[in-house]
Amino acid sequence: MKTAIYPGTFDPITNGHLDIIDRALRLFDKIIIIVARNPAKSPLFTAEERVFLIEQALADIKGDAALAVEMFDGLIVDFARQRKANAIIRGLRAISDFEYELQMALVNRRLYAEVSTVFLMPHEKYTYLNSTIVKEVASFGGDISNFVPPVVELMIKKKFGR
């Protein structure tokens, strides 16, 4: 049984994240999506809301036992060790992601040698997408229906009082 964890802020989950989850599911038996509270990033959604949105978005694709969503605040490698996961999934969109991701991957491997970071490239149509740009477009009333699942679109509109 090969378990991977997919950590992130997911504020909120986008179609880019879903693309990565879909690809990871083809490689691993189980994917645990970990929502980091990340107060330093002043998230728009609470961690509980972000978990709810991910669960709803995943129910749209598949109500699968291979997927789980959890909140976690500590070191990702501690979570990996607890769950005997030997892979951390991260998305790579552009060179600009690379330096930070390389550093994280090497630090995590140093902290827990059993874990490897696996980078997955999303479909080209998602390489420009991140949660920040989605929130920015939505805050000005722009159409985000191509960027996020319907449940996220609805919740963002509510957040911005539209």
Residues carrying an active site annotation: 17, 41, 93, 131
Of residues 111, 100, 118, the one with CA closest to residue 6: 118
Q: What does the longest C-alpha to C-alpha distance in the chain come to?
A: 48
Cβ atoms of 36 and 9 closer than 8 Å: yes
Under the criterion CB under 6 A, does residue 108 sit at the interface with ligand ADP?
A: no
Under the criterion CB under 6 A, does residue 49 sit at the interface with ligand ADP?
A: no
> Which residues in the 58-87 window bind ligand ADP by CB under 6 A?
none
Under the criterion CB under 6 A, does residue 130 sit at the interface with ligand ADP?
A: yes
Strands 67-72 and 30-36: parallel
Least Å distance, CB 64 to ligand ADP, is 19
Considering only the stretches 10-18, 62-70, 107-115, 153-161, report the one whose residues sit in contact with ligand ADP under the rule CB under 6 A. 10-18
Least Å distance, CB 68 to ligand ADP, is 16
- Six token digits for residue 37: 């509270």
Under the criterion CB under 6 A, does residue 135 sit at the interface with ligand ADP?
A: no
What is the C-alpha separation between 72 and 60, in angstroms, rounded? Answer: 24
